[in-house]
Amino acid sequence: MWWSLGLSKPRYKKLKLALILIAALFGASLAVRYYNLYRYHLEKQTRFMMDTYVTLHAIGPQKITSRAISLALDRMQELDTKLNHLNPKSPIYTFNINATPITDAEILELVKLALQVARDSDGAFDITIEPLVEIWGFYGNSPHVPDDKDIKNALDAVGYQFLVLGDSKLEKKKDSVRIDLGGIAKGYIVREAAKVLRKEGVKSGLIDAGGDVYALGKKGSDLWKIGIRNPRGEDLLGYVEVEDLAVMGSGDYERFFEKNGKRYHHIFNPKTGYPAEGVIGTTIIHADPVLANVWSKPIFVLGPERGMELVKRIPGMEAMVVKSSGEVLYTDGLEHALRSSTKNQ
């Protein structure tokens, strides 16, 4: 057929070779394209736990990401049950209600860290805060300002010194002492989810637990961009670009009610029995989600200046504190890393 078009045999061979080469290149391009789509598939799953929506993102082959996220969410669900003091299936529940010693090694390790933070913060963080949170109604649907007498009675059972942590069990000196690991558990649950993702071969992912975030690796070839919320608005104070870091915070906008024009929130000063004052939002950035999660509370309670001084002593930790006046304080690293949310992202 080619000869009938007036092509000589040598020229026909060259044209045929060229066409084969073009076809090969076109096919290779498609192959690379579809390989990259397969390789960089973005998997996303959401579940409700820890009283919030938890969303996991993972980038990679779909066969790997789908399994990894499911296993990570299962692990998170398991820990949400174990570490929830309101769940009758939790050892913490029986410890609070029946004074049954806790022997679960995982819980003991978390309590050990919580007690260390309590000592380092001079009691500004205290897992025995449960009686206070309860009388203020934040565990139910009707928060309110309790009587001074009720607050005083609750304070009698608050104090990390009432806990006795041994090598194999946790006990308490008073039956009225009750613990709540809510101020540290989320960070631990997020860290465990990241472990599962890594074990299953995921190198790029994002864990979003109700706004508390851990960025695993990069988002493809880019850093993950995490916005930092304005405590008094729907806008952002800015965003940071991170890799293998947690961005976690606390704010008086999460759980609160107002009475006579005053806002009462769920972050309590364990020494006064009342919600902490002077700060409306904190953000911590650290490689360990547990430390990022737990330290966002004591710096809220201690106040801007003293809280920031404590944070500066912790290697690798960056922080931001928003004062009641609206003034924002930063550690040096975060001040330089924070980017304006109005810039092109």
Helix (H) or strand (E) holding 22: helix 9-39
Specify the pLDDT at position 341.
62
Specify the pLDDT at position 220.
83
Residue 325 φ/ψ, nearest 5 degrees: -75, -10
Please count the residues of the chain: 345
Is 215:119 a contact under the CB 8 Å cutoff?
no
CA angle at residue 170 from 134 to 287, to 5 degrees?
A: 80
Which residue(s) pair with 236 in the sheet?
Answer: 229
pLDDT digits (tens, 9 = 90+) for 318-342: 999 999 999 999 999 998 899 986 4
pLDDT digits (tens, 9 = 90+) for 197-235: 999 999 999 999 999 999 999 998 899 999 999 999 888
CA distance linking residue 197 with residue 72, whole number of Å: 6
CATH topology of domain 91-172: T-fold (1.10.3980)
* Domain layout of the chain by residue ranges: 91-172
DSSP 102: B
Q: Would you give the distance in Å from CA 280 to the centre of its chain?
A: 19
Is 79:196 a contact under the CB 8 Å cutoff?
no
Q: Of 202, 250, 223, 229, which is closest to residue 56 (Cα–Cα)?
A: 202
Global pTM reads 0.87
pLDDT by 10s per residue, the chain, length 345 = 333 333 344 443 443 444 344 444 445 444 444 444 445 789 999 999 999 999 999 999 999 999 999 999 999 999 999 999 999 999 999 999 999 999 999 999 999 999 999 999 999 999 999 999 999 999 988 999 999 999 999 999 999 999 999 999 999 999 999 999 999 999 999 999 999 999 999 999 999 999 999 999 999 889 999 999 999 988 899 999 999 999 999 999 989 999 999 999 999 999 999 999 999 999 999 999 999 999 999 999 999 999 999 999 999 999 999 999 999 999 999 988 999 864 434
Give the tokens for residue 108: 């003991």
